Amino acid sequence: MTELPANATKRLKTMAISAGAAVVGVADADAFDAHAPARHRPADLLPGALTVVVVGGAQPRAGDWVATSPWLLSTMGTTERIQGVGRRLAQSIESELGYYALYVPPGTASGDTPFLSLMLAAELAGLGSRSLAGPILNREHGFMYWSAVITTAPLEVDGPETAPACPAPPCREMWEREHTTPCLRVCPLHEGGCLAGRLEDGRAVRTGYDAARCNTRVHTHWVGGFQKVLEETLNEPDREKRKMLVYGDFMTRTLWAITYSSTNIAQCFECMRVCPAAHGLKEMR
């Protein structure tokens, strides 16, 4: 079956780390079938797909998390860095190993539906597990961004992670004490937030998540924000108010957000900001 050199997977992983990934793993393409809907599985995108290589990294630095200005994380998008690693891996698999490789586009196929769930891919590649807050958390590095490459190469597969990063020990203690966790407390669903859940036998169980609300908060200044302010502007009969809307801070920041110069990916990080596991559980001087 395999015509791959014996050390191909290891070399590919080393290359990914040198290119800037913090973690890299390989998922079995068939493993998606049990979780992903039809048309969003690896073989739907690349006929004959055998494995999915997932890289994680480009996460905010420890300094970013402790910065006191909320605008820092709002305007310091970093996700593109990991996408570059994914593209490079795809080219490398084709040119050096001779197998088809498809870089999974980071955008959506339509609406909010991705071509392939990068979160699921990260889980299946053993790079992390879903947190109570939603994002996949890696045990060592915490919150990260992901990129994936679907390939026909029969690479060695990693198994899913067995011990989840969430809940972190301080969250378990907080649950014992107060029946909440940092993420549930900072954004509670029953008080106009996005998250609901509990801990059972030391495991996180998510019971509610308002995706639409979360999306509008996370992407305040993004395509949706532009559409919203454009509609308001056109509906405004007063010429002077229209001018204020066009030149207003909201419109300006929105335009920054949807262009390259700001790489303004998200504006709300609260559930991750308070999560002990999201920062890779590291403290610095």
Partner 1 sequence: MATDGVVQAVKRVGLDAGARVVGVAAAEAFRAGVPEGFRPEDILPGARSVVVAGGDGPTAGAWRCPDHRVMEITGYDLRENVAIHAMCDYIERELGYYAVQAPSLPVHGHEPPMSMMHAAELAGLGTRSFAAHIILNPEYGLLYYAALITTLPLPADPPLAEPACPHPGCVAMYKRIGTTPCLRVCPACLSGTLKDARIETSTYDREKCHSRAQTYGIGSFQKALLAVVNEDDAGRRREMIHSDFFAKSVQSVGFFRDSIAQCFECMRVCPVGRKHRKLK
- Give residues in contact with partner 1 (CB under 8 A): 3, 39, 44-47, 80, 84, 87-88, 90-91, 94, 98-103, 105-107, 109-111, 115, 150-153, 223, 226-227, 230-231, 234-235, 257-260, 263, 265
Which of residues 108 and 207 has its CB atom nearest to partner 1 in the complex? Answer: 108
Which of residues 97 and 125 has its CB atom nearest to partner 1 in the complex? Answer: 97
Give least dist CB 190 to partner 1, A: 29
Give least dist CB 89 to partner 1, A: 10
Which of residues 91 and 207 has its CB atom nearest to partner 1 in the complex? Answer: 91
Give least dist CB 65 to partner 1, A: 23
Which of residues 45 and 174 has its CB atom nearest to partner 1 in the complex? Answer: 45
Give least dist CB 231 to partner 1, A: 5
DSSP letters along the chain, please? ---S-TTHHHHHHHHHHHTT-SEEEEEEGGGGTTTSPTTSSHHHHSTT--EEEEEEE-PPPHHHHH-S-HHHHHH---HHHHHHHHHHHHHHIIIII---EEEPPSSEEETTEESS-HHHHHHHTTS-EE-TTSSEEETTTEE-EEEEEEESS-PPPPPPPSS-S-S-HHHHHHHHHHS--HHHHHSBGGGTSSEEEEEETTEEEEEEE-HHHHHHHHTSSSHHHHHHHHHHHHH---HHHHHHHHHSHHHHHHHHHTSTTT----S--HHHHS-TTTTTT----
Which of residues 200 and 238 has its CB atom nearest to partner 1 in the complex? Answer: 238
Give least dist CB 142 to partner 1, A: 23
